[in-house]
């Protein structure tokens, strides 16, 4: 979808919008993390991290809240359904869920990093809204619009976007600030998001829109 800059500046105005960065963590984004150890193709991830960094910088300049959602797991929070699904697919149900362990290197954020005062949501499932206080925290900030960036497009970005839409947020996905490990998954996920729950935009358009806001 093509969005004109002047219109976008109104739609994602700082007084109504938050930037939500999803699961940009070592285990999903770095060669030394779980995805790298599993041999997944991380070649598209650095560009998404760089784009998300640009979004975070522009958001801070425009006084748009920057919210970080990350997966932080423990053995107690591991989903029995997740473990059983992995087992039925022939995988190791223990190794398959031991990602982004709270307090370990794999859970650390990469790309844009939280600063003091930023809202950090610690989640245990795909969606940043599932069993968290994200909705209440956003509403307390007066936010009704979200710009999403993160990993991976077809999984946690998609899951979060759907829940956000069901909670009546206006949802924008910065397509170049998201990535998947397979190009067709990224493209397919964006197509479904565009069809059902979100408007697709790019980082340059967001940065331009936020730069149009008058400074104090």
Does residue 156 have an active-site annotation? yes
**155/160 Cα distance (integer angstroms):** 9
**109/22 Cα distance (integer angstroms):** 10
**45/111 Cα distance (integer angstroms):** 10
Alpha helices in 107-157 (DSSP H): 134-140
Does residue 208 have an active-site annotation? no
Which of 27, 100, 123, 176 is labelled catalytic? 123
Angle between helix 183-196 and helix 158-166 axes, rounded to 10 deg: 10
The secondary structure of 159-180 as a DSSP string is HHHHHHHHTT-EEEEEEEEEE-
The secondary structure of 12-34 as a DSSP string is T-TTTEEEEEE--BHHHHSTTSH
| Residue 170 three-state SS | strand
Number of Cβ within a 10 Å radius of residue 27: 27
Q: Are 152 and 179 in contact (CB under 8 A)?
A: yes
Residues constituting the chain: 216
Which of 27, 100, 155, 156 is labelled catalytic? 156
Which residues are annotated as catalytic?
Answer: 23, 123, 156
């Amino acid at each position: 979808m093509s969005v004109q800059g002047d219109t976008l500046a109104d739609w994602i105005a700082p007084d109504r919008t938050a930037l939500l960065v999803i699961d940009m963590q070592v285990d999903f984004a770095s060669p030394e993390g779980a995805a790298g150890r599993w041999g997944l193709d991380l070649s598209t991830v650095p560009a998404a991290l760089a784009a998300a960094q640009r979004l975070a910088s522009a958001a801070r300049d425009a006084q748009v809240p920057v919210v970080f959602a990350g997966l932080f797991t423990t053995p107690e929070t591991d989903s029995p359904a997740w473990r059983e699904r992995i087992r039925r697919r022939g995988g190791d149900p223990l190794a398959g869920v031991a990602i982004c362990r709270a307090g370990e290197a794999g859970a650390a954020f990469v790309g844009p990093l939280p600063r003091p005062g930023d809202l950090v949501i610690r989640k245990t499932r795909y969606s940043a809204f599932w069993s968290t206080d994200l909705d209440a925290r956003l509403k307390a900030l007066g936010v009704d619009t979200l710009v999403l960036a993160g990993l991976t497009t077809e999984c946690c970005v998609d899951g979060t976007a759907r829940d956000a839409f069901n909670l009546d947020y206006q949802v924008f996905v910065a397509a170049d600030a998201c990535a998947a490990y397979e190009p067709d998954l990224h493209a397919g996920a964006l197509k479904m998001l565009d069809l059902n729950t979100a408007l697709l935009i790019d980082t340059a358009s967001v940065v331009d829109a936020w730069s149009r806001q008058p400074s104090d």
